[in-house]
Amino acid sequence: MTISTASDARSRRNVTVLMIAQATIGSQLAMIFVLGGLAGQSLASNVCWATLPISMIVFGSMTTAPWMSHVMQKFGRRTGFLVGVSGGAIGAAIAAYALSVSSFPLFLLGSYFTGIYMSAHGFYRFAAVDTASKEFSPKAMSYVMAGGLAAAFIGPQMTIFTTDAMTVPFLGTYVAVVIINVVGGFLFLFLDIPTPKKHPQHTSGGRSRWGMLKSPRIAVAIIAAMVSYALMNLIMTSAPLAIVGSGHPQSAAAHVVTGHVLAMFIPSFFTGHLIVRFGVEKIISLGLIILASAGVVGLMGVDIMGFYGALILLGIGWNFGFIGASTMLTAAHTDQERGSIQGINDMIVFGFVTLGSLSSGVLMNCSGSNVVAGWSAVNLAMVPFLALAGGALIWLAMRPKTSIESV
């Protein structure tokens, strides 16, 4: 297979910048997701709302994704990513202050601003293919996602070192996140991604939003991404609560999350190659099967090795399902349509993830009489959503392909 080296020279530079950003600035998400539920549990008056801060992060990402995509379409990726790190810094600063004064509402506000960063972070994968050739696109996206491998080490390890660095528990972690955003923002000055050309009013900028959503491949891509990400978030949000609630130390929760994040991103070194070789539908299907396996392992108990097994499978399944779905989406729209459909995609995906993280705390803490019952309820909740995504893929496979849908 040949690759267009002329166009991909610029793409490789951008991929490198985005990989570094994924590894360093992106580590804040691992830090916050490890501690968000525990910090929320320490501030909330009702333990059922322990994971509400994480839900607010995802809700912030959902509600800002459409206008973040519009900003990037109009002013460029660099501007959008700088807005993202600004939101991350402001959110962490508010959360740090909230911890110092023991205010749960302020902590939720800070979490919402963190969602602005999470929204921008979600567009790293799309930015990776903006300047890539058709052959290099799946690999470019996969390589950028692989930058999360370093974040798997940096985030949880920084969490361990900063959790008790100050008198107020967790405060040091959020101060560190402020610094990560401020310093990391300089990376985006090295991006070289042109702003999409504006089209004269008398020319078409692509299909309408509804027209794109009616496209079978776009619809299935959104469903697969939505289910993969929401189920990963559902289990991962509850895991630290289940681990600590089962009598294991907080450091064990951080180490399990490290294993999970490693599993999320190590496959990225070859996911793109697998998509090119076997096709995106097969890789998404494999991801859903592995996600189901994670649920089965999770139902086997609350020993520490069980948590490792479930969370590692969860990470691998997310990688294949989410990267596969994102690749399917980028191949199903034009450059002129990207600002609209990518924003809609992430709004729907993170809207579903918000529901998953809200359900996570309720299922974990309030659906049974003990930790085992709560953890089992969380894992059983995966079943209907896996059936939805699997059914959508089967429906797509049974449809006769048209020239447009085969893109």
Cβ atoms of 19 and 152 closer than 8 Å: no
- Condensed to tens digits (0 to 9), the pLDDT of residues 156-165 reads 788 888 888 8
Q: Sketch the domain layout of the chain as residue ranges.
A: 8-192+210-398
- Condensed to tens digits (0 to 9), the pLDDT of residues 200-230 reads 544 445 677 788 888 889 999 999 999 999 9
Range with the lowest mean pLDDT among 39-48, 100-109, 242-251? Answer: 39-48
Crossing angle of helices 171-184 and 5-24, rounded to 10°: 160
Q: What per-residue confidence (pLDDT) applies to 5?
A: 46
pTM for the whole structure = 0.74
Looking at domain 8-192+210-398, its CATH superfamily turns out to be MFS general substrate transporter like domains (1.20.1250.20)
7: pLDDT strictly greater than 80: no
Cβ atoms of 211 and 219 closer than 8 Å: no
How many CA atoms lie less than 13 Å away from 40 in the CB half-sphere?
31
> Model confidence at 138, in pLDDT bands (50, 70, 90)?
confident
Burial class (CB in 10 A: 0-12, 13-18, 19+), 228: buried
Closest CA to 231 of 83, 85, 380: 380
302: pLDDT strictly greater than 50: yes
In order of 23, 125, 142, 198, 272, the CA distances from 278 in angstroms are 28, 21, 15, 36, 10
- Condensed to tens digits (0 to 9), the pLDDT of residues 226-269 reads 999 999 988 988 888 888 888 888 788 878 888 888 898 888 88
> Model confidence at 145, in pLDDT bands (50, 70, 90)?
confident
Alpha carbons 297 and 49: distance in angstroms, whole number? 26
Cβ atoms of 253 and 155 closer than 8 Å: no
Average per-residue pLDDT for the chain: 86
In order of 90, 171, 225, the CA distances from 328 in angstroms are 34, 40, 10
Residue 332 DSSP code: T
